[in-house]
């Protein structure tokens, strides 16, 4: 049985972060900047803005309102842009954990079906975890831990079926739910410490927590699992770290 060690995960993430912290921080800054622009462009008008615009009878403002008032469309665009960023970061983090070279272009270029599966899976996981939190906090945390591998499986193994990603995550986290929860709590603590250290600390904390999540995935999936004959195939060549 493979067992997650919080200390080992953190130590490995810290070592990896020291080697690639600058490029990851620059990437995080660029994605935050790009996300802010997209969110601002896609932000719908508030009700007060709508009333003021119509009342003013300003044709220019009315036209602007018409161009930006499609709430559903803007939310879809923002969601897909966020998915592109998340998938790219996951791809890069997995490559770093495996000791593989990576390129920004390749990390952010996937088939459309991967993005669609990713968005739907994130939405479904969110609903499931929210129901768990609604029933009680502990079931929500437990479900979050058991489904934590779903996004990584969808990105790393695009041939894997949608529901297979859920079942595989559930299977691989069966004996490590508590340890994964400890990793999540450790990440929250790291983020809090980073917040106390201002901007640079927050960014460095984001690098470490991103790598920790990828290392949890790598530890549970493992070389043996990827090389065994299963209902799907892994189509990459990887170097053990």
Those residues whose C-beta lies under 8 Å from the C-beta of residue 20, and which sit 6 or more positions away, are 96, 207
Per-residue pLDDT of the chain (241 residues; tens, 9 = 90+): 788 999 999 999 999 999 888 888 888 887 777 767 766 665 554 444 544 544 555 555 545 555 554 454 566 677 778 888 889 999 999 999 999 888 888 888 888 899 999 999 999 999 999 999 888 888 899 999 999 999 999 999 999 899 999 999 999 999 999 999 999 999 999 999 998 887 778 889 999 999 999 999 999 985 444 544 343 343 333 433 3
Distance CA 212, CA 143 (A): 19
Q: In the structure encoding, which two tokens stand for residue 154, read together? A: 């969808």
Output the pLDDT for position 152.
95
- Contact (Cβ atoms closer than 8 angstroms) between residue 91 and residue 155: yes
Domains identified in the chain, total number: 1
Q: Is residue 176 part of a domain?
A: yes
Q: Is residue 159 part of a domain?
A: yes
240: DSSP letter: -
Domain that holds residue 107: 6-220
Query: Is the dihedral angle over the CA atoms 56, 61, 62, 65 positive or is it negative?
Result: negative
- Contact (Cβ atoms closer than 8 angstroms) between residue 70 and residue 210: no
Q: Is residue 179 part of a domain?
A: yes
Q: Is residue 235 part of a domain?
A: no
Q: Is residue 229 part of a domain?
A: no
Q: Is residue 203 part of a domain?
A: yes
Output the pLDDT for position 219.
94
Output the pLDDT for position 2.
82
Those residues whose C-beta lies under 8 Å from the C-beta of residue 79, and which sit 6 or more positions away, are 119
Output the pLDDT for position 236.
35
Q: Is residue 135 part of a domain?
A: yes
Output the pLDDT for position 41.
60
CB atoms within 10 A of CB 203: 18
Output the pLDDT for position 93.
93
Q: Is residue 165 part of a domain?
A: yes
Output the pLDDT for position 198.
78
């Amino acid at each position: 049985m493979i067992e997650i060690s919080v200390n080992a995960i953190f130590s490995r993430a810290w070592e990896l972060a020291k080697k690639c912290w600058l490029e990851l921080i620059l990437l995080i800054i660029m994605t935050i900047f790009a996300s802010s622009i997209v969110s601002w462009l896609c932000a719908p008008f508030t009700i007060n803005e709508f009333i003021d615009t119509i009342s003013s009878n300003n044709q220019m403002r009315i036209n602007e309102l018409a161009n930006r008032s499609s709430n559903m469309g803007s939310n879809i665009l923002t969601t897909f842009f966020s998915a592109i960023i998340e998938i790219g970061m996951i791809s890069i983090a997995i490559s770093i954990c495996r000791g593989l070279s990576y390129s920004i272009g390749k990390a952010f270029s996937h088939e459309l079906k991967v993005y669609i599966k990713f968005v739907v899976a994130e939405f479904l996981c969110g609903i499931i975890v929210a129901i768990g939190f609604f029933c009680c906090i502990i079931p929500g945390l437990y479900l979050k831990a058991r489904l934590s591998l779903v996004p990584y499986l969808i990105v790393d193994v695009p041939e894997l079926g949608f529901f297979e990603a859920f079942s595989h995550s559930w299977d691989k986290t069966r004996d490590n739910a508590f340890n994964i929860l400890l990793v999540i709590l450790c990440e929250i603590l790291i983020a809090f410490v980073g917040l106390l250290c201002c901007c640079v600390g927050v960014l460095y904390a984001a690098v470490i927590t991103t790598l920790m999540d990828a290392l949890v995935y790598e530890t549970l999936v493992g070389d043996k699992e990827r090389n065994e004959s299963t209902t799907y195939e892994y189509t990459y060549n990887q170097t053990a770290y």
